Copies of this chain bind each other. A is one copy, B any other.
Amino acid sequence: MAKKYEVALPVIRRLPRYYRFVCGLISEGISRISSKELSLRMGLTASQIRQDLNCFGGFGQQGYGYNLEVLRDEIAKILGLDNLVDTVLIGAGNIGRALGKRIDFNSVGFNLVAIFDNRDDVIGREIGGLVVKNAEEIDEFCKANNIKAAVVCVSDKSAEDVIENLISLDINIFWNFTHYDILLKHQGENLSVENVHLNDSLMTLRYLANCD
């Protein structure tokens, strides 16, 4: 699909937060809000909000504010949440298991269809309604089901092998919990990667705490 908007990544990263706030307001029974009121609730300036949403065409009506259901649906469409991508999860250790149980993939644009592990005592267990498959079946399953996205929660030691194999299987969307730097070897290729480096986040927090 062609890039629809040329929007800076910091703006993109704010969109999920808008989405969360808007969904929260709707569940409070609110149907319309001014950018001023929204800005107070989100701790952003009203002009920042107008500027952000204008990157995608803007949805406010001068003097009337935003219709929240329209705004929610438009943000969902921009993010692609209405179009679920079949996804596999590799590595059902502590983190993988927690993600499989807790994350509502369907609500954020993904459809978790299989979980794999290579340990005998993990294969066959049930996680979030899925039975953990043997990692030996990854290639066949991904090809047969045209899988394009993977959540990777394997150990750092096996991360490179696992991820390079997934790339060879044409998987190009990665939610990466390992320290393997996927884009370093694949610069300029058509890969979408979000890294969640929990240790890095904690070290940053430790630094911030030191500075206060």
| Residues of chain A having any CB pair with chain B under 8 Å | 1, 3-5, 12-13, 15-17, 19-20, 42-43, 78-81, 83, 85, 93-95, 97-99, 101-105, 107-110, 148-149, 172-175, 179, 181, 183-184, 187, 190, 192-194, 196-212
Contacts and interface: CB of A to CB of B under 8 A. Distances in A.
12 contacts: A5-B211, A17-B197, A79-B206, A105-B202, A148-B209, A149-B209, A172-B212, A175-B201, A175-B202, A192-B208, A192-B209, A192-B212
A194 to B, nearest CB: 4
- 3 tightest Cβ-Cβ pairs between the two chains A and B: A109-B206, A80-B210, A16-B200
Given A97-B98, A110-B202, A209 B20 contact: no
Contact of A198 (B5, B99, B209): B99
Given A198-B99, A205-B194, A179 B85 contact: no
Contacts of A173: 205, 208-209
A41 to B, nearest CB: 8
A20 B101 contact: no
Nearest to A184: B43
Contacts of A183: 43
A65 to B, nearest CB: 20
Given A16-B203, A173-B209, 10 more contacts: A1-B211, A43-B187, A95-B98, A98-B98, A99-B198, A103-B199, A107-B199, A108-B202, A109-B206, A192-B212
Contact of A15 (B19, B192, B207): B207
Contacts of A42: 181, 184
Q: Could you say which of A101, A148, A184, A209 has the most chain B C-beta atoms within 10 Å of its C-beta? A: A209
Nearest to A4: B211
A201 B196 contact: yes
